[in-house]
Amino acid sequence: MLDIQTRQDDEPTAFEQEADFSGIDKVRLIEALARVLPVGALMYDPEDLRPYECDGLAAYRRMPLAVALPYDEAQVVAVLRTCHELGVPVVARGAGTGLSGGALPHECGVLLSLARFNRIVHLDPHSRTAVVQPGVRNLAISEAAAPHGLYYAPDPSSQIACTIGGNVAENAGGVHCLKYGLTVHNLLRVRAVTIEGEIVEIGSHALDAPGYDLLALMTGSEGMLAVVTEVTVRLTPRPRLAQCVLAAFDDVIKAGEAVAEIIAAGIIPAGLEMMDQPATAAVEEFVHAGYPLDAKAILLCESDGTPEEVAEEIGRMCAVLENAGATEVRVSGSEAERMKFWAGRKAAFPAAGRISPDYYCMDGTIPRKRLGEMLEAIQAMEGKYGLRCINVFHAGDGNLHPLILFDAGREGEFERAEHFGAEILELSVALGGTITGEHGVGIEKINQMCSQFATAEIRQFFRVKAAFDPAGLLNPGKAIPTLNRCAEYGRMPVRAGHVPYPDIPRF
Amino acid sequence: MSENIDKIVSEWAGRIRAAASEGVALRPRGGGSKDFYGRAPTGEVFDTTPCRGIVSYEPSELVVTVRAGTPLAELEAELAARGQMLAFEPPHFGPGATVGGAVAAGLSGPRRLAAGALRDFVLGVKLLDGRGQVLRFGGQVMKNVAGYDVSRLMAGSLGTLGVLLEVSLKVLPRPVEEATLRFQLSEAEAIARLNDWGGQPLPISASAWADGVLTLRLSGAAAAVRSARETLGGEGVGEADAQTFWHAVREQTLPWFGVDVAGGALWRLSLPTSAAPLKLAGEQFIEWGGGQRWLRSGVPAAQIRERVAQLGGHASLFRGGARDGAVFHPLPAPLMTIQRRLKAAFDPSGIFSPGRLHQEF
Looking at residue B63, which CATH number applies to its domain? 3.30.465.10
Q: At what angle do helices A277-287 and A348-355 cross, to 10 degrees?
A: 90
Q: Answer yes or no: do A154 and A246 share one domain.
A: no
Chain A residues close to B337, C-beta within 8 Å: 198
Q: Answer yes or no: do B57 and B97 share one domain.
A: yes
Q: Answer yes or no: do B112 and B186 share one domain.
A: no
3-state secondary structure A218-233: HCCCCCCCCEEEEEEE
Q: Which of B196, B190, B217, B231 is nearest to B114 (CA)?
A: B217
Q: How far, in Å, CA of A33 to CA of A317, rounded? A: 59
Amino acid present at B216: L
Q: Which of residues 371-400 of A touch B (CB under 8 A)?
A: 394, 397-399
B58 in contact with chain A, both atoms CB, cutoff 8 A: yes
Q: How far, in Å, CA of B226 to CA of B176, rounded? A: 12
Evaluate the CA torsion angle A340, A345, A348, A349 in order and state its sign.
negative
Q: Which of A254, A248, A247 is nearest to A269 (CA)?
A: A247
- Residue A451 phi, psi (nearest 5): -80, -35
Q: Any residues with CB less than 8 A from the CB of A377 and at least 6 apart, and which?
A: A424, A427
Q: How close does chain A come to B155, measured CA to CA in Å?
A: 7
User: Which residue among B195, B199, B338 sits closest to A214, beta carbon to beta carbon?
Assistant: B338
Q: Residue A489's pLDDT is what?
A: 78
Q: Which residue, of A237, A259, A294, is where some domain finishes?
A: A237
Q: Answer yes or no: do B157 and B255 share one domain.
A: no
Q: Which residue, of A323, A346, A369, is where some domain finishes?
A: A346
The verdict on residue A18 lying in a domain is no
A505 in contact with chain B, both atoms CB, cutoff 8 A: no
The helix/strand/coil state of A472 is coil
Rg (Cα) of chain B, in Å, rounded?
21
8 A C-beta contact, residue A12 and residue A470? yes
- Residue B175 phi, psi (nearest 5): -65, 150
Q: Are B142 and A237 a contacting pair at CB < 8 A?
A: no
Q: Which residue, of A184, A207, A237, is where some domain finishes?
A: A237
Local structure of residue A104 (DSSP, 8 states)? P
Q: How far, in Å, CA of B292 to CA of B290, rounded? A: 6
8 A C-beta contact, residue A352 and residue A276? no
Q: How far, in Å, CA of A319 to CA of B201, rounded? A: 26
The verdict on residue B334 lying in a domain is no
Q: Answer yes or no: do A99 and A202 share one domain.
A: no
Q: Answer yes or no: do B236 and B250 share one domain.
A: yes
DSSP string, A111-122: EEE-TT---EEE
The verdict on residue B166 lying in a domain is yes
Q: Answer yes or no: do B131 and B278 share one domain.
A: no
Tally A–B CB contacts below 8 A: 294
Amino acid present at A503: D
User: Which helix H or strand E contains A374, and what residues bound it?
Assistant: helix A371-385
The verdict on residue A504 lying in a domain is no
Q: How far, in Å, CA of A416 to CA of A384, rounded? A: 9
**C-alpha B330: how far from chain center:** 19
The verdict on residue B43 lying in a domain is yes
Q: Answer yes or no: do B154 and B202 share one domain.
A: no
User: Which residue among A264, A366, A467 sits closest to B60, beta carbon to beta carbon?
Assistant: A264
Q: Are A237 and B342 a contacting pair at CB < 8 A?
A: no
Q: How far, in Å, CA of A67 to CA of A160, rounded? A: 24
Q: How far, in Å, CA of B150 to CA of B197, rounded? A: 35
Interface confidence: ipTM more than 0.95: yes
Q: Answer yes or no: do A472 and A438 share one domain.
A: yes
Per the structure, the complete domain to which residue A30 belongs is given by: 26-113
- Residue A495 phi, psi (nearest 5): -90, 135
Other C-beta atoms within 10 Å of A435: how many? Answer: 29
Local structure of residue A324 (DSSP, 8 states)? T
pLDDT below 50 — which residues of chain A?
1-9, 491-500, 502
Consecutive 10-residue averages of pLDDT for chain B (361 residues): 89 98 98 96 97 95 97 98 97 97 98 98 98 96 94 98 98 96 98 97 96 97 93 96 98 88 83 96 96 95 96 96 93 97 97 95 90
pLDDT mean across residues, chain B: 96
Q: How far, in Å, CA of B71 to CA of A202, rounded? A: 32
Q: Residue B358's pLDDT is what?
A: 93
8 A C-beta contact, residue A4 and residue B130? no
Q: Which of A262, A267, A344, A343 is nearest to A305 (CA)?
A: A267
8 A C-beta contact, residue B354 and residue B29? no
Q: Which of residues 261-300 of A touch B (CB under 8 A)?
A: 261, 263-264, 266-268
Q: Answer yes or no: do A30 and A131 share one domain.
A: no
Q: Answer yes or no: do A214 and A150 share one domain.
A: yes
Q: How far, in Å, CA of A428 to CA of A439, rounded? A: 15
The verdict on residue A193 lying in a domain is yes
Evaluate the CA torsion angle B324, B327, B330, B333 in order and state its sign.
negative
Q: How far, in Å, CA of A83 to CA of A227, rounded? A: 13
The verdict on residue A1 lying in a domain is no
Q: Are B25 and A369 a contacting pair at CB < 8 A?
A: no
Q: Which of A121, A212, A63, A261 is nearest to B328 (CA)?
A: A212
Q: Are B144 and A202 a contacting pair at CB < 8 A?
A: no
Q: Which of residues 69-108 of A touch B (CB under 8 A)?
A: none
8 A C-beta contact, residue B73 and residue B128? no
> What total number of domains does chain A contain?
4
Q: Which of A96, A234, A272, A190 is nearest to A468 (CA)?
A: A190
Q: What Cα–Cα distance (Å) separates residue B69 from each residue in A493, B24, B31, B62?
A: 44, 22, 8, 21
Mutate to test the interface with A, among B145, B270, B340 (most CBs of A within 10 A): B145
Q: Answer yes or no: do A318 and A258 share one domain.
A: yes
Q: Answer yes or no: do B295 and B306 share one domain.
A: yes
- Residue A474 phi, psi (nearest 5): -85, 115
8 A C-beta contact, residue B146 and residue A442? no
8 A C-beta contact, residue A404 and residue A391? no
The verdict on residue A3 lying in a domain is no
Q: Are A452 and B146 a contacting pair at CB < 8 A?
A: yes
Q: Any residues with CB less than 8 A from the CB of B315 and at least 6 apart, and which?
A: B267, B268, B269, B270, B301, B304, B305, B308, B329
Q: Which of B290, B274, B282, B279 is nearest to B209 (CA)?
A: B290
Chain A residues close to B350, C-beta within 8 Å: 2-4
User: Which helix H or strand E contains A450, and what residues bound it?
Assistant: helix A449-452
User: Which helix H or strand E contains B85, and what residues bound it?
Assistant: strand B84-85
Q: Any residues with CB less than 8 A from the CB of A338 and at least 6 apart, and which?
A: A242, A243, A244, A302, A332
User: Which residue among A5, A219, A312 sits closest to B223, beta carbon to beta carbon?
Assistant: A312
Q: Answer yes or no: do B160 and B20 share one domain.
A: yes
Q: What angle do CA B145, B147, B150 make, to 5 degrees?
A: 100
- Residue B170 phi, psi (nearest 5): -75, 135
Which residues share a beta bridge with B223? Answer: none
Q: Answer yes or no: do B128 and B87 share one domain.
A: yes
Phi-psi region of A431 (alpha: psi -120 to 50; beta: other; left: phi over 0): alpha
Per the structure, the complete domain to which residue B303 belongs is given by: 175-320
Q: Answer yes or no: do B186 and B130 share one domain.
A: no
Q: How far, in Å, CA of B268 to CA of A275, rounded? A: 48
Nearest CA in chain B to A397: B142
Q: How close does chain A come to B49, measured CA to CA in Å?
A: 24
> What total number of domains does chain B contain?
2
Q: How far, in Å, CA of A365 to CA of A429, rounded? A: 8
The verdict on residue A19 lying in a domain is no
B338 in contact with chain A, both atoms CB, cutoff 8 A: yes
Q: Answer yes or no: do A104 and A45 share one domain.
A: yes
Q: Are B145 and A436 a contacting pair at CB < 8 A?
A: yes
Q: Answer yes or no: do A342 and A360 share one domain.
A: no
8 A C-beta contact, residue A244 and residue A340? no
Q: Are B201 and A238 a contacting pair at CB < 8 A?
A: yes
Q: Answer yes or no: do A356 and A472 share one domain.
A: yes
Burial B178-214 (b: 16+ CB within 10 A, else e): bbbbbbebebeebbbbbbebbbbbbbbbbbbbbeeeb
Chain B residues close to A479, C-beta within 8 Å: 147
Domain at A477, CATH number: 3.30.70.2740
Q: How far, in Å, CA of B354 to CA of A3, rounded? A: 10
Chain B residues close to A7, C-beta within 8 Å: 344-345, 348
Alpha helices in chain B (DSSP H): 2-22, 72-81, 99-105, 112-115, 118-121, 150-153, 187-198, 222-232, 239-251, 255-258, 301-310, 333-346
User: Which residue among B117, B136, B201 sits closest to A207, beta carbon to beta carbon?
Assistant: B117
Q: How far, in Å, CA of B227 to CA of B102, rounded? A: 35
Mutate to test the interface with B, among A127, A177, A234, A436 (most CBs of B within 10 A): A127
Amino acid present at B56: S
- Pairing mode, strands A187-193 and A199-203: antiparallel
Question: pLDDT digits over B189-245, tens only?
Answer: 999 999 999 999 999 999 999 999 999 999 999 999 999 999 999 999 999 999 999
Domain at A47, CATH number: 3.30.43.10
User: Which helix H or strand E contains A81, and what residues bound it?
Assistant: helix A73-86
